[in-house]
Amino acid sequence: MEQKLKALPLMKSDARAFTRFFFSGATECELDKQGRVNLPGNLREYAKLDKDCVVLGVSNRVEIWSKGIWESYFNQSEEAFNDIAEKLVDFNFDL
């Protein structure tokens, strides 16, 4: 993803704005001695993370969600899953 974004034309203001926004939240996080990730406060606040979180493996990335927000999103997405799957045909994606 990073390479694709870096390849966008800098002469296009939309490309500059998108990459600026996309990378603005990027932060290097280190593991502590117990292998835990200490997320910076601004990212915890942005994701509305409090006590309970859900960690998802999504293909080649990890997503961290507030448990309540994830449950709400999952319930809404579960209902629309078949509709979303049908739309993938538009991308020549065969399930």
Helices (H), the chain: 2-6, 13-24, 41-46, 67-87
Asked if 8 and 2 touch (Cβ cutoff 8 Å), the reply is no
Q: How far apart are CA 51 and CA 1, in angstroms?
A: 30
CA atoms within 13 A of residue 83's CA, in its CB half-sphere: 5
**Domain range list for the chain:** 1-38, 49-95
The 10s digit of each residue's pLDDT in 1-45 is 778 888 888 888 888 888 888 888 788 888 999 999 888 898 899
Q: Cα 23 to the chain's mean position, in Å?
A: 12
pLDDT tens-digit readout, 35-72: 998 888 988 998 999 889 999 998 888 899 999 999 99
